[in-house]
């Protein structure tokens, strides 16, 4: 395996791509191109979770995928102890992370011959806020502002499939539910995350709608695999349901799995990514094999 880190911008190193590229071998797959997966960790756009980064990439690599982890621009470079009040990085405001994901997918396609990547089999997988980012590329890849900012044809940005784990997909839903949420910690996290995404803790309804992928699904949205848990208390499962319904209305192929129980941030649901016992969930852990089976069919 070739591992390397690619800096996305010449003037700073906080936005980068960690690459896990499978080597060709004379013993098998000689010269054959492999599919690729770009992994977008979650972290409320305040940081990117290690639990949803390298372990996930290595699991995909073990299944025969070139894997790439995008460490996109977030509000904090290192999570401060007083994160509720600490000043953050104004560069995190959208569309900056979206530009970085689009640039990553285009970069992989430019190096497809060198790395033996099949440029027509590139999936983007994201968790929580990373799921929002992945879905945002899925619904906006064709829009002119990406070409204007990055100077490349929009087709280079298009993911061929999306995998979304407990994603934020409807900011209007989140706002309305959190108004009824008695958990002050969740409300504070949402306000600080809004500062990272929108530049303000209380964006207006138009801006919330603009950044809600569930409201922008179209016939150009690639096939999507979504998984969530019904009792997720931080990102409500209705985010996944709203996106799936939008896909159904637009005839976008989708597969949806809502597991009955599980805390937010399960990642791979086993000991390899668990920080505590609540994050070990054998029932939901099957999501990964289900996603592989689905990807095999979608990228055939």
Identify the pLDDT of residue 183: 84
Q: Please report where in the chains the tokens 């972290």 appear, as a residue.
A: 43
Give the model's pLDDT for residue 188: 93
Neighbours of 236 (CB within 10 A): 24
Angle of the 184-198 helix axis to the 171-179 helix axis, nearest 10: 150
Range of the domain at 78: 2-298
Alpha-carbon torsion 204, 85, 169, 297, what sign?
positive
The answer to whether 224 and 139 have CB atoms below 8 angstroms apart is no
pLDDT for residue 173:
97
Plot region of 45 (φ>0 → left; ψ -120 to 50 → alpha; else → beta): left
Give the number of C-alpha atoms closer than 13 A to the C-alpha of residue 233, restricted to the C-beta side: 8
> Mind listing the pLDDT tens digit of every residue in the chain (300 residues)?
999 999 999 988 889 999 999 998 888 767 899 999 999 999 999 999 999 999 999 999 999 999 999 999 999 988 888 888 889 999 999 999 999 999 999 999 999 999 999 999 999 999 999 999 999 999 999 999 999 999 999 999 999 999 999 999 999 999 999 988 778 899 999 999 999 999 999 999 999 999 999 999 999 999 999 999 999 999 999 999 999 999 999 999 999 999 999 999 999 999 999 999 999 999 999 999 999 999 999 998
- Return the pLDDT at 81: 85
Nearest to 198 by CA among 98, 93, 75, 99: 93
Q: How many domains is the chain built from?
A: 1
CATH at 288: 3.40.50.1820
Name the DSSP letter for residue 25: B
DSSP codes, 125-173: EEETHHHHHHHHHHHHTTSHHHHHHH-S-GGGG--SEEEEES----HHH
């Amino acid at each position: 395996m070739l591992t390397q880190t690619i800096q996305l911008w010449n003037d700073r190193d906080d936005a980068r791509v960690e690459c896990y590229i499978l080597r060709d071998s004379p013993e098998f797959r000689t010269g054959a191109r492999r599919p690729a997966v770009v992994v977008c960790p979650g972290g409320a756009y305040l940081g990117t979770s290690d639990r949803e980064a390298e372990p996930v990439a290595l699991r995909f690599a073990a299944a025969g995928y070139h894997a790439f982890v995008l460490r996109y621009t977030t509000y904090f470079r290192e999570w401060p102890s007083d994160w509720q009040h600490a000043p953050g990085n104004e560069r995190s405001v959208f569309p900056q992370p979206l530009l970085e994901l689009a640039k990553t997918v285009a970069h992989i396609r430019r190096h497809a011959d060198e790395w033996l990547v099949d440029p027509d089999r590139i999936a983007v997988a994201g968790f929580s806020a990373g799921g929002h980012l992945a879905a945002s590329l899925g619904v906006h890849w064709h829009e002119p502002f990406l070409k204007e900012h990055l100077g490349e044809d929009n087709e280079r940005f298009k993911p061929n499939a999306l995998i979304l784990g407990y994603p934020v997909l409807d900011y209007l839903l989140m706002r309305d539910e959190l108004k009824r949420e008695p958990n002050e910690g969740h409300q504070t996290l949402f306000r600080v995350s809004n500062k990272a995404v929108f530049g303000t803790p209380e964006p207006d309804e138009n801006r919330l709608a603009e950044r809600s992928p569930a409201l922008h699904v179209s016939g150009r949205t690639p096939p999507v695999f979504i998984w969530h848990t019904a009792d997720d208390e931080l990102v409500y499962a209705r985010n996944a349901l709203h996106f799936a319904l939008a896909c159904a209305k637009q005839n976008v192929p989708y597969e949806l799995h809502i597991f009955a129980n599980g805390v937010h941030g399960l990642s791979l649901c086993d000991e390899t990514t668990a920080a505590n016992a609540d994050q070990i969930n054998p029932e939901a852990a099957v999501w990964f094999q289900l996603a592989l089976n689905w990807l095999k069919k979608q990228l055939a």
